Amino acid sequence: MSKNFTGQTAVITGAGSGLGLEVARMAAQEGMNLVIADIQADALALAEQALQQYGVRVQAFVTDVAKSEQVLDLARKTQLAFGAPHLVFNNAGVGSGGLIWETSEQDWQWVLGVNLMGVVNGVRSFTPMMLQAARLDPHYRGYIVNTASMAGLVCVPNMGVYNVSKHAVVALSETLFHDLALVTEQVRAAVLCPYFVPTGISRSERNRNGGVGGVPESLTPSQQLSRQMMDKAVSSAKVSAAQVALQVFDALRQDRFYIYSHPKALQGVSQRFEDLMAARNPRDPYADAPQLAALLRNALAGESNLN
């Protein structure tokens, strides 16, 4: 992608808050036209108002990325307003955890619907028009950036459904990178794997509506524990969403596929792949923090909590 983004177009899902909003803000500062989408109408309206202050064109569309027809409609509206986008940031995501056998079918459908199928729908809807733009213009450059997580590279206990969704996004993104390389050098893919960053993902249920993803009447003890852990980790995070947005644009300028918000967290990834290569049983992720491991086991047994 060109180092000069002025006049280009960015499509950003989950743009009402968190990483999506900060990437939209960074894109606006770079002079890009914006198509922003979110399922939360009030947050999206506030984001649209804030982004218009940068003097760029902003179009906002309430979108449920889990529904393919809504993402296709978002792509059509983008094409009509701006033509093929130069950056598609498939970022909308939700958080959920708990012991894996306690995860309901509805939980699986909700998390995979947003975290995985939201990315699938974005890739299917926007890639063809970006490839067409590349065929028509040898100077066109485009990027598809998918938000995964460090949970897409390691398997943290009590976070099964989230881990599965994010591992799938990493696999999808790596395959997309290779598939694009077969047909073009003008459209590339990247994957963002943030660690704990202060966003609203730990309270994703606020946007969980009726139907398949209806809000559960109650949480199991393990799900409550997962939420407590995520709230605590996110609230104490030292890397801001704005800093991650800057890292995303740095990666685009460097044509870099893997984007990490916390490079030090890669030690866990290295250990995991050492176990894979040696065919060892997965090591305890809390081996270096036995007090935390004991606390978690006690909390799941109902003997204590994380407070």
In angstroms, the CA 31 to CA 17 distance is 20
Strands (DSSP E) found in 213-287:
258-260
**Which pair of tokens denotes residue 203?**
């309270």
In angstroms, the CA 248 to CA 41 distance is 25
Strand ordering across the sheet containing 9-13: 58-62, 33-38, 9-13, 87-90, 142-147, 187-193, 258-260
286 carries an active-site annotation: no
Pick from 290, 259, 284: nearest CA to 272: 284
Pick from 96, 89, 279: nearest CA to 202: 96
Asked whether 271 and 150 are in contact (CB, 8 A), the reply is: no
Which residue among the candidates 140, 143, 162, 260 is catalytic per the annotation?
162
**Which pair of tokens denotes residue 163?**
């881990």
Asked whether 10 and 141 are in contact (CB, 8 A), the reply is: no
Q: Please identify every residue annotated as catalytic.
A: 162
